Amino acid sequence: MTIPSQTLVTAHPVQDATWWRQAAVYQIYPRSFSDSNGDGLGDIRGITAKVPYLQRLGIDAVWLSPFYPSALADGGYDVDDYRNVDRRLGTLDDFDEMVSALHDAGIKLIVDIVPNHSSNRHAWFREALASPKGSAARERYIFRDGKGTNGELPPSDWESVFGGPAWDRVTEPDGTSGQWYLHLFATEQPDFNWENPEVRQDFLKTLRFWSDRGVDGFRIDVAHALMKDLREPLPAWADMPAEDETTDGTHPFWDRDEVHEIYAGWRALFNEYDPPRTAVAEAWVHADRRGRYARAEGLGQAFNFDLLQSAYDAGQFREIITRNLAESEVTGAPSTWVFSNHDVVRHATRYGLPKGPGRNGPAHAWLMSGGTEPVLDRELGTRRARAASLLMLALPGSSYLYQGEELGLHEVVEIPDTDRQDPTFFRNPGSEIGRDGCRVPLPWTAEGVALGFGATAAHLPQPAWFSSYAVAVQEEQDGSTLGLYREALALRRSLQSDEQLKWVDEPNAQVLHFVRPNGWHSVTNFAPEPVPLPAGTVLISSSPLAEGKLPADTTAWII
Ligand code: NOJ
């Protein structure tokens, strides 16, 4: 049944079937969260042990990044087996225990699903390599003959998202060089052929498998790439629009209209459950096309990465919020807000660097220089990140938080090359550092070999300065970032109301002031000078007030 969008927009968030509409969702990158068995890798039991921490934090749901068996060619986004748990992370029984512990604590669970590609160790891909050209096994992936006299040239000059060619040549079972397969990401991540009904059926089985185990929702990786038009002649790379610039569904693989047929099928499956399973699309598409993924007949929600890509700037923030809430009115899908995740430089660091647009802005140069150029103002970055996060938590829609941001963690730049893991580092020598710096295991205590993460050194080295950000340290500290998030999340729960917002115009355009229908005000001062506060009771502020005024780079909630 399709619920009219108007009903959804005004639905009360505490009703179970709509829990996700205004949820605070905390992303766990499992291998870097908590290591229960001392092997240096975070695991499922580690998460279960930290459920009291998550409950105290006050989040509504966990989004768990891939925990499936994987060679970790791409941090687990190279999945060997979609219906199992990586042995190093635990067992299916451990998973079930984690689900129960989360549910007992009133926390929902969203798991990551990676449908665009498997790993090259997946049983189907191994079978494809062992089978001849034209076989049914090869039809589950995208195999093509090469060009040139002996097929020695790739079928096209397309580049992988991670750099380098998007096609790789295989060795046929008889030892000769043979066909090529498409991998939009790393070589170890062959793309599935979604024209193949077997692929479709298998993913339905996977979605059912986890839904039956009590999973409440799914985050869909690269949701916009599943359908492909690979009819010859394949266009030249230079003639193809960029990922989020295509607006008419005609790109050979990004954001094709047919992809929504798949999600309509998934929605039918999700709606068989009570409450229906939720889904959020990771789709780096043009803003005008995002709503297609988010509509009720589709996945229901799509990530809006606009704030994450924006500079810390009052005008840009206001435009982004206004545009996305207007979009939400049209689609009926709640907006999503996010500043940090496992793919980008942490926002505390981005905001401590000079302004600049883009996914990582000037942080790219900073990373490449080993953290020296431009100069990072750590304190300013933290202050701004706290202000921005408090602003985000007052917005209607759901907020996605990334593990460690509640500690105000900064990006780690000092990782020796020999410890780096991200394929973008290996595929772009000298021009990309990769995403390992936001994936360094969390500091739980100020002391200990892995700062409380586990009993042995963590799989990515933690810098010495991490200890001052440790959970145990912040729990004892007045005004800590952890304290701010806990207080803000508790208040947010009690204050959440209809999915509406009204801007209150301030004389200073550097001050963003909005009010929710129940009189919950949020005011952020992006200007350098303190500004007067509106009348009312200040519930919380991201930095101490200055003689009753709102200082620079500070957000306050007022009722
Ligand atoms: C998006 C994920 O967030 C990223 O970490 C991954 O590398 C790519 N998809 C490929 O799966």
From the CB of 113, is ligand 1 less than 6 Å away?
no
Ligand 1 geometric centre to CA of 297 (Å): 25
2: pLDDT strictly greater than 90: no
Residue whose CA is at the smallest distance from ligand 1 atom 6: 77
Average pLDDT of the segment spanning 451-477: 98
From the CB of 222, is ligand 1 less than 6 Å away?
yes
From the CB of 74, is ligand 1 less than 6 Å away?
yes
What's residue 359's pLDDT?
Answer: 62
Average pLDDT of the segment spanning 490-505: 95
What's residue 159's pLDDT?
Answer: 97
Which ligand 1 atom minimizes the distance to the CA of 282? 1
Question: Using CB atoms within 10 A of its CB, is residue 64 exposed (0-12), middle (13-18) or buried (19+)?
Answer: buried
What's residue 451's pLDDT?
Answer: 98
From the CB of 343, is ligand 1 less than 6 Å away?
yes
Cis peptide preceding 275, ω within 30 of 0: yes
Ligand 1 geometric centre to CA of 221 (Å): 6
Ligand 1 geometric centre to CA of 309 (Å): 17
From the CB of 186, is ligand 1 less than 6 Å away?
no
Ligand 1 geometric centre to CA of 77 (Å): 6
Q: Are 349 and 363 in contact (CB under 8 A)?
A: yes
C-alpha 8/C-alpha 541 separation (Å) is 31
Which ligand 1 atom minimizes the distance to the CA of 162? 7
What's residue 85's pLDDT?
Answer: 98
What's residue 246's pLDDT?
Answer: 84
What's residue 13's pLDDT?
Answer: 36
Ligand 1 geometric centre to CA of 74 (Å): 8
Ligand 1 geometric centre to CA of 340 (Å): 14
What's residue 357's pLDDT?
Answer: 59
Average pLDDT of the segment spanning 515-542: 97
Mutate to test the pocket of ligand 1, among 185, 344, 421 (most ligand atoms within 8 A of CB): 185
272 is catalytic: yes
Which ligand 1 atom minimizes the distance to the CA of 77? 11
Q: Which of these ranges, 12-21, 268-277, 470-479, has the smallest mean pLDDT?
A: 12-21
Q: Which of these ranges, 2-16, 315-329, 518-532, has the smallest mean pLDDT?
A: 2-16
Q: How confident is the model at residue 195 (pLDDT cuts 50, 70, 90)?
A: very high
CB atoms within 10 A of CB 15: 10
Average pLDDT of the segment spanning 172-177: 94
221 is catalytic: yes
Mutate to test the pocket of ligand 1, among 78, 280, 343 (most ligand atoms within 8 A of CB): 343
Which tokens hold the place of 327?
A: 């979009």
Average pLDDT, the chain: 95
Ligand 1 geometric centre to CA of 295 (Å): 23
Which ligand 1 atom minimizes the distance to the CA of 222? 9
Q: Which of these ranges, 3-7, 229-233, 241-245, has the smallest mean pLDDT?
A: 3-7
Give the DSSP H or E segment for 207: helix 197-212
From the CB of 473, is ligand 1 less than 6 Å away?
no
From the CB of 221, is ligand 1 less than 6 Å away?
yes
Ligand 1 geometric centre to CA of 76 (Å): 9
148's CB contacts (< 8 A; 6+ apart) are none
What's residue 530's pLDDT?
Answer: 98
Cα–Cα distances (Å) from 388 to 54, 180, 347, in that order, read 21, 46, 9
Q: How confident is the model at residue 227 (pLDDT cuts 50, 70, 90)?
A: very high
Average pLDDT of the segment spanning 227-256: 94
271: pLDDT strictly greater than 70: yes
144: pLDDT strictly greater than 90: yes
Task: Order the strands of the 278-281 sheet from edge to edge.
Answer: 278-281, 217-220, 108-113, 61-64, 24-28, 398-402, 336-338
Q: Report angle CA 305, 558, 510 to the nearest 5 degrees.
A: 55
What's residue 546's pLDDT?
Answer: 96
**pLDDT tens digit string along 351-390?**
999 986 556 678 999 999 999 999 999 999 999 999 999 9
Average pLDDT of the segment spanning 78-83: 98
Mutate to test the pocket of ligand 1, among 221, 435, 436 (most ligand atoms within 8 A of CB): 221
From the CB of 185, is ligand 1 less than 6 Å away?
yes
C-alpha 354/C-alpha 369 separation (Å) is 15
Ligand 1 geometric centre to CA of 185 (Å): 8
From the CB of 24, is ligand 1 less than 6 Å away?
no
Per the residue annotation, which of 272, 319, 414, 529 is the catalytic one? 272
C-alpha 338/C-alpha 32 separation (Å) is 20
pTM for this entry: 0.96
Percentage of residues in the chain having pLDDT higher than 90 = 94
90: pLDDT strictly greater than 50: yes
Residue whose CA is at the smallest distance from ligand 1 atom 11: 77
Which tokens hold the place of 499?
A: 């999915």
Average pLDDT of the segment spanning 437-454: 98
What's residue 16's pLDDT?
Answer: 76
Give the DSSP H or E segment for 62: strand 61-64
- Spacing of C-alpha 242 from chain mean position: 20
From the CB of 284, is ligand 1 less than 6 Å away?
no
- What is the DSSP pairing of strand 24-28 with strand 61-64? parallel
**pLDDT tens digit string along 422-436?**
999 999 999 999 999
C-alpha 423/C-alpha 189 separation (Å) is 11
Residue whose CA is at the smallest distance from ligand 1 atom 5: 343
Residue whose CA is at the smallest distance from ligand 1 atom 4: 343
From the CB of 436, is ligand 1 less than 6 Å away?
no
Residue whose CA is at the smallest distance from ligand 1 atom 2: 221
Ligand 1 geometric centre to CA of 494 (Å): 34
Per the residue annotation, which of 60, 202, 216, 221 is the catalytic one? 221
Average pLDDT of the segment spanning 508-532: 98
1: pLDDT strictly greater than 80: no
397's CB contacts (< 8 A; 6+ apart) are 21, 22, 324, 325, 328, 334, 335, 336, 337, 499
Ligand 1 geometric centre to CA of 480 (Å): 31
4: pLDDT strictly greater than 90: no
Residue whose CA is at the smallest distance from ligand 1 atom 3: 343
Which ligand 1 atom minimizes the distance to the CA of 74? 7
441: pLDDT strictly greater than 60: yes
